[in-house]
Amino acid sequence: MISPETLKRFPFFASLNDEQLKQIAMIGEEVEFNKDQLVAAEGQPADALYVLTEGSADLFFTIQDDKTNTKRQFLVGEITAGDPFGITALLEPYKHLSSVRCTSACKAICINGPKLRELAENDPALATVMLKHIALAALERLDHTRVQLAAAWA
């Protein structure tokens, strides 16, 4: 369990009421990751939503080149303090669409995905706030990817 006051510090949770914060705090914990640690792998189950509290991480995906039988990784974003990741823990089919690797030692709030989904199912206001923030994070990452794609074609 973490403190509801800890959650309030982050924009992702700031618009939740005290009861909602308390419920999320009860299913959350603080976790630490080492530099270069793979925290999430694309295609794997997304069983937790994270908010980075310290450090930074790269968000990337891998493409298999069938012609050369090699894999290439493409950076699609950077996660810094306050940013969520593992956002697909709230979206079916609950699998990571990209991978996350720490570029430094990191700390994060880890929220149990199935329990958070259950809270959201029972509280439409909570679901609305969570999905709004998830959509904003996804749009930001999509924009970053669009910029990278444009630069690659320039």
CATH code, 48? 2.60.120.10
DSSP state of 146: H
pLDDT at 85: 95
Q: Does position 81 have pLDDT exceeding 90, yes or no?
A: yes
Domain of 93, in residue numbers: 4-145
Question: How does pLDDT run across 21-79, given as a tens digit for each residue?
Answer: 999 999 999 999 999 999 999 999 999 999 999 999 999 988 887 888 888 888 888 99
Whole-number pLDDT of residue 10: 92
Please report the sign of the dihedral spanned by the C-alpha atoms of residue 137, residue 142, residue 144, residue 145: positive
Residue with tokens 């690797």: 101
Q: Does residue 86 sit within a domain?
A: yes
Pick from 53, 16, 55, 61: nearest CA to 35: 55
- Say if 151 falls within a structural domain: no
Domain total of the chain: 1
Residue 137 has pLDDT above 80, yes or no: yes
Record the tokens describing residue 15, joined without a space: 């618009």
Of all residues in the chain, the percent with pLDDT exceeding 70 is 99
